[in-house]
Amino acid sequence: MKKNQLSIRLHGEQVGILEQTLTGKMIFTYDTTANQVISIGMPIREEPYSETQTEAYFAGLLPESETVKKIIGKQFGISHNNNFALLKAIGYDCAGAISCHTLNEPIEAQDSFPLNGRVITEAELYKHIKELPQKPLFINIDGLRLSLAGAQDKAAVCLIDNQIALAENGCPTTHILKPSSSHFEGIAENEYFCLRLAKRFGLPVPDIQLRQISDITFLLIERYDRRIKNLRVERIHQEDFCQALGMLSSKKYQNEGGPGFKDCFELLKKTAQPALDRNLLTSALVFNYLICNMDAHGKNFSLLHKTQSNIRLTPFYDMICTRAYQKLTSKMAMKIGSRYDADNLFPRHWEQLCDEIYYRYIAMKDIIKNGAEFMLKIAHEEKETLITTRHHHPIIDTIIKIIEKNSKRILDRFKK
């Protein structure tokens, strides 16, 4: 019986074979000549990786939305539940430097690709964005074969001379396009504002633009897993925390068996600069708490494999004030101490967290108190900037009220 196999390539070089077993699951085996790992949690070894670990990593490259998977499946005539078939269909340009190929595709190891794409008109872009719910990831447009993880509508594009283009001739995409949503008013402005606050807070974040076409607002986010130099695009490998920990995307929330902060901080022991990355992650978790981002789950933190031995925490992304939408939960994706409920968080819960992650409580307390005071200042400053640049939206006023309430509450509790 002919085996269902894909050639898995990292920076264009084959590192192993992904095989679909008779049960429909997947196993991964490194080539004997492989010298690059695909995941910090999957070191090079002779024996195949189990279905569980393989599924956690490779399914993590695919969109999470069942609706999106069904549309892609219908487009390519495959089952939306068949992750192997989905990767074969759209896995040419994945997050990081991984690409999925049929066994007969020529192996062309390349460090970089010419920045190449077809610049599209505003009318074309408007049409493509409107069609995103029916054509996720811009599939079936110019033969695109790319995959993005996550649950939101989005697409990957190139930016050429500040114009949006669809990648051609094997060029990796350079930017993520995320349009506004009819389900969540002002979601693009929400994320734009929060990422601007994060940068002021001292967190590394991707370069981000807020653009408008007619009645559509969208974000254009520079991919941190790509590097452009001399009009050539390089892929930089990355993986999210769920992939690195061998946890399925469907279990990305801690209360469903996904990672908690203890797991995340343990993972950072394997980076090139653990102390620096621990401090960054600490600041990020405090920031997410202050802006009331309840959706900071395991797939919203990632590792960047700059080289085989230089693995670092990536810039932070998907930072949104989720409490601005009443229908979304007030329960945090990862608990702080023994609490998921952000409103009932007290200093003792932060101290519990510090005990779990081996972080000095006195240092954590300073980050929280100074961070809360700083947020009260910069939120209004950033609002004024957005008004000046005509990017203001009523959602910003809602977010500021939430930040003020949360920051004042935490400052009051730490005084007692």
85: left (phi over 0), alpha (psi -120 to 50) or beta: alpha
Q: What are phi and psi of 57, to 5 degrees?
A: -75, -55
H/E/C letters for each residue in the chain?
A: CCCEEEEEEECCEEEEEEEECCCCCEEEEECCCCCCCCECCECCCCCCECHHHHHHHHHHHCECCHHHHHHHHHHHCCCCCCHHHHHHHHCCECCCCEEEECCCCCCCCCCCEECCEEECCHHHHHHHHHCCCCCHHHCCCCCCCECCCECCCCEEEEEECCEEEEECCCCCCCEEEEECCCCCCCHHHHHHHHHHHHHHCCCCCCCEEEEEECCEEEEEEECCCEEEECCEEEECEEEEHHHHHCCCHHHCCHHHCCCCHHHHHHHHHHCCCHHHHHHHHHHHHHHHHHCCCCCCCHHHCEEEECCCCCEEECCCCCCCCHHHCCCCCCEEEEEECCEEEHHHCCHHHHHHHHHHHCCCHHHHHHHHHHHHHHHHHHHHHHHHHHHHCCCCCHHHHHHHHHHHHHHHHHHHHHHC
Catalytic residue, from 295, 318, 341, 366: name it.
295
Alpha carbon 372 to its chain centroid, in Å, reads 25
Asked if residues 113 and 168 have their Cβ atoms less than 8 Å apart, the reply is: no
Do residues 151 and 65 make contact, with C-beta atoms less than 8 angstroms apart? yes
Contact status, residue 304 vs residue 238, Cβ threshold 8 Å: yes
User: In the annotation, is 412 catalytic?
Assistant: no
C-alpha span between 234 and 252 (Å, rounded): 29
Active site residues: 295
